[in-house]
Structure 1
Amino acid sequence: MSESGLQQARDKMAGAGVSPVAIEVFSHYYRQLEEGATGLIPESTIDPMLEVPQLSDVEISDADAAAALDATVVIKLNGGLGTSMGMDKAKSLLPVRDGKSFLDLIVQQVRSARAATGARLPLLFMNSFRTQSDTLAALAAYPDLAVEGVPLDFLQSKEPKLRADDLTPVDWPADPELEWCPPGHGDLYPSLLGSGVLKALLDQGFTYASVSNADNLGAGPNAQIAGWFAASGAPYAAEVCTRTANDRKGGHLAIRKSDGQLILRDTAMTPDEDMHFFTDEHVHPYFHTNNLWFDLRELDRVLTERDGVLGLPLIKNVKTVDPADSTSPEVIQIESAMGTAVEVFEGATAIAVGRERFLPVKTTNELLLLRSDVYDLGDDGRLTQASAIPAIDLDSGYFKKIDAFEKRFASGAPSLRDATSLTVKGDWTFGSDVRVTGAATLADTGSPERVADGSELSA
């Protein structure tokens, strides 16, 4: 039945116009799946990565840094809809500060880096079939952004969700779009190849790629890292940060015992019995930021050698076909993570960067922080931490979805510069010019409440 299932999936992908490269990559993972692959990496098979070069120790001349940046393309992963926050469009279009979205600030960062260094610095978005049209419409406001010979975006692939019982493509007539899923951001590499963008970049003389999530405004263009990467001669590098107790869910790099190769282990790749090792910041002291650098020439060589199939580790994601309906059929989504490419490139390395390179927004708690005076927004589109970061805990029943969040902070974020924590339980709406000092908690009264304009909240 499974061989029939693979052919059905291949036919479905071809009928939807999915690139031949993406179909072959999917087929590679499908065969792994039917052979029982889980993608799990037991703790007994790895050693922790304990010694990492520090960006703070790097010495690169301004000229070498600028030259490396001029050979670099900035790629932003932009396939997510922000569904966990109740969004139905690209998360990068969400306003962050002063009416500017993630996308606006990313553009501002790139333009500023171009002006400061003279680098061409193309900006490329990897969109999904759900984010492409809205993103390109927003980018139309920047007619001077494109670099000659390089598009502004390329499309991530899509693949059919598979029934968990027989590995055939699921049918869901109630909403046929739910029959499809993105293949994870490991799809970056075959999508660069299959779209023709990799060739276009090489033809225009670009050598390096700097890749990060569109919701991480900390990962702006960095000439110093570009210079370090160029000087290292490495084919691939990952940015990592020192782990704290708050980073226990983040993936980490490790050294595979069998061959000494650097690898990435994520939460979904860790056996349940080893999770206490995974979450221990003393055992694995660095977390993976999902900010990557790679040599475009090396990527082209390896993809050519492997017919477009890098062979990244499989991630088996079990869900229901309709995420909002737990009674809908159980499906398997075949995924891979772009950071696992670290094990494909011999000589791959890592560099430890400051926390300012990692400002992701996965929840409205983090969005509130970026909108507050904890961060200053510069003319270069970068956010600079202005005070200690307080712990934010907003009641998910009232603040998790972006519409509900916006309604309750319609007058803007409160001042958090003097806060150590803000905990909100229940249905609270914030007035204007609210200030939080110390550790403040709002209790659930069972009724909607309002924080009056000009209030000060404290312990």
Structure 2
Amino acid sequence: MATLSAADSEKLKNLQSAVSSLPQISDNEKSGFINLVARYLSGEAEHVEWSKIQTPTDEVVVPYDTMAPVPEDLAETRKLLDKLVVLKLNGGLGTTMGCTGPKSVIEVRNGLTFLDLIVIQIETLNAKYGCNVPLLLMNSFNTHEDTQKIVEKYATSKIDIHTFNQSQFPRLVVEDFMPLPSKGISGKDGWYPPGHGDVFPALLNSGKLDALLAQGKEYVFIANSDNLGAIVDIKILNHLIQNKNEYCMEVTPKTLADVKGGTLISYEGKVQLLEIAQVPDEYVNEFKSIEKFKIFNTNNLWVNLNAIKRLVQADALKMEIIPNPKEVEGIKVLQLETAAGAAIKFFDRAIGSNVPRSRFLPVKATSDLLLVQSDLYTLSDGLVTRNTARKNPANPSIELGPEFKKVANFLSRFKSIPSIVELDSLKVSGDVWFGLGITLKGKVTITAKPGLKLEIPDGAVLQDKEISGPEDI
């Protein structure tokens, strides 16, 4: 670590003293936080030298199709699965979609939530192979209590569910670099969860890591709870165990919708995640092009549990710090965060796997919800699968106006979700309401004039249309 200036050393000393007297967090959290701030102050942010970036070979980013097939013997497969744990990142609130509480309890399809689907998937897997794959949920202090209540409904399910919390760090006041909670801001506003890079120390600090190792578990599959495509893949697990890979990041071919996503590069002999924030300004357009950087990170990660323990204990996981400025009650604050994908360069024999796009189906907004609730997908055993009737390999692009942003408003504006198997794009803006049994095809744009309530009637079939009033339907 670079040495600190006298002024920064003084800042850190004062911060340390203020943090040590905060009763809300553990000693582990206090030292983790101070460590992160010290790294931030030392300015050790790595700037990538553009000329040294190389495109990873197929040995580094392994094409999914070239991985060995899954063993046909069920007993062999069971042995593989008994080494696995599934961990879903469950710290996020559904605030962007107008929900209170964990995002994972938004209903996705047929009245089932993200969490219901995840539980059904793992139950089905355990029943099929006679294995015991447990589910871990990493909550934040924002989602912990609600999740505990929700998990109770699975008490009788045939799956072990464990929850643990990621760290809770104090927000930093930009002006004097002191913790916000010591300024008299009580309650949750003074704190933040430091990003999903915290999953590694949190696993160890919670005691879950040692408990899993004691049960003979070897690998954890980590994914966002809102990615409906992130299901257990025995082929990837088998490959990692055969090749002793400590870390695998699933990547998938980039489309124009994914240009900001992180990508994998070979850099000074190691595989590394390159995020848009690390790219020098003059190369941002090159980074966003899909010619040079053809893949992006899905945040589906497979990691060896023993390797996590080794690296966390050695304090070796120095992931890039992501500064996230916010404002609380008029006070400018800073959150320092890390991302789990950035840890790839610290693990031995780390690889990427170039997987089919179907393994990346996140629901970040109501436009994504429209896709997964429509006839474009079917649901079976907790798996959301693309309808084979759709000929276009890409999903339709959907833009819904602010009237549709919150889930409750979105649901009230559709009597039923339209058929979109033959849709290319949909843009909706203004006060628009959809009736029952509507079919959308080709390119459809619906723009209600200001002050006009525009109702699309039951059974309407709209193909390649621009609609701004009832007369256009």
Compute the displacement of 1:8 (Å): 4.5
Cα separation, 2, equivalents of 1:364 and 1:5: 45
Is 1:134 equivalent to 2:146 in the alignment?
yes
Find the counterpart in structure 2 of residue 441 from structure 1.
445
Indicate yes or no: 2:410 matched with 1:400: no
Match of 2:283 in 1: 274
**What residue in structure 2 maps to residue 28 of structure 1?**
35
- Alignment CA distance shift 1:320-1:44 (3 Å): farther
Partner of 1:456: 461
Cα pair 2:248 2:353 within 8 Å, conserved: yes
Deviations 1:342-395 (A, max 9, x none): 0111221111111111001111111110111111111x1111111242111111
Tell me how far 1:448 sits from its aligned partner. 2.3
The reply on whether 1:46 has 2:56 as its aligned counterpart is no
1:296 aligns to 2:305 (yes or no):
yes
| C-alpha distance in structure 2 between counterparts of 1:166 and 1:41, whole Å | 30
Is residue 433 of structure 2 the alignment partner of residue 429 of structure 1? yes
Distance 1:22 1:49, change over 3 A: farther
1:187-236 Cα offsets, whole Å, 9 max, x none, are: 00000000000011011111110110000010111222111111120111
Deviations 1:33-84 (A, max 9, x none): 2223445545344323353212222223134443222210000000000222
Q: Report the Cα distance in structure 2 between the residues aligned to 1:167 and 1:70, rounded to whole angstroms.
A: 47
Q: Is the 8 A contact 2:122 2:159 kept in 1?
A: no
Select which of 202, 213, 235 maps to 1:191.
202
Give CA-to-partner distance per residue, 1:382-415, whole Å, 9 cap, x none: 11111242111111x2112223222212x23111
> Structure 1 residue aligned with 2:25, among 9, 14, 17?
17
1:147 Cα deviation from its structure 2 partner: 5.4
Give the CA deviation at 1:146.
6.7
Distance 1:440 1:454 in 2: 16
SS in 2 for 1:152: strand
> Contact (CA 8 Å) 1:70, 1:118: kept in 2 or not?
no
> Given the two structures, how large is their TM-score scaled by the length of structure 1?
0.91
Mean alpha-carbon deviation: is it higher for 448-457 or for 246-255?
448-457
Q: 1:217 is matched with which residue: 222, 228, 240?
A: 228
Unpaired runs of 5+ residues, structure 2, are 1-9, 465-473
Counterpart secondary structure, 2:62: coil
Closer/same/farther in 2, CA of residues 402 and 45 from structure 1, 3 Å limit = farther
The corresponding residue for 2:120 is 108
Q: Is the 8 A contact 1:435 1:456 kept in 2?
A: yes
Greater CA radius of gyration, 1 or 2? 2
**Structure 1, unpaired ranges of 5+:** 323-327
What SS does the corresponding residue of 1:417 show, helix, strand or coil?
Answer: coil
Q: Distance in 1 between matches of 2:326 and 2:29?
A: 22
Alpha carbons of structure 1 residues 178 and 271: separation in structure 2 relative to 1, 3 Å: farther
| Per-residue deviation, residues 281-331 of structure 1 (Å, max 9, x unmatched) | 11111111100011111211222233xx62222111222235xxxxx2221
Q: Would you say the 8 A contact 2:228–2:384 is kept in 1?
A: yes
| Change beyond 3 A, Cα 1:48–1:83 | farther
1:312 aligns with 2:323: no
Q: 1:68 to 1:6 in 2, by over 3 A?
A: farther
* SS of aligned partner of 2:153: coil
Q: What does residue range 41-440 of structure 1 map to in structure 2 within 5 Å?
A: 41-51=48-58, 52-59=61-68, 60-63=70-73, 64-145=76-157, 152-171=162-181, 176-257=187-268, 260-306=269-315, 310-321=317-328, 328-378=330-380, 380-386=381-387, 387=390, 388=392, 389-395=395-401, 397-409=402-414, 411-440=415-444
Shift of 1:5: 4.2
Please give the alpha-carbon distance, in whole angstroms, between the structure 1 residues aligned to 2:298 and 2:14: 36
Shift of 1:337: 0.2
Identity %: 36
Compared CA separation, residues 436 and 274, structure 1 to 2 (3 A): same
Distance 1:180 1:78 in 2: 17
Distance 1:154 1:174, change over 3 A: closer
Could you tell me how far apart the structure 2 residues matched to 1:350 and 1:11 are? Answer: 40
Structure 1 counterpart SS, 2:133: coil
Report the 3-state secondary structure (helix = DSSP H, G, I; strand = E; otherwise coil) of the residue aligned with 1:62. Answer: coil
Amino acid at match of 1:415: S
- Give the stretch that moved more between structures: 81-90 or 267-276: 267-276
Worse overlay, 241-250 or 331-340: 241-250
Please state whether the residue corresponding to 2:290 is helix, strand or coil. coil
Say which SS state the counterpart of residue 137 (structure 1) adopts: helix
Q: What secondary structure does 1:415 align onto?
A: coil
Change beyond 3 A, Cα 1:393–1:175: farther
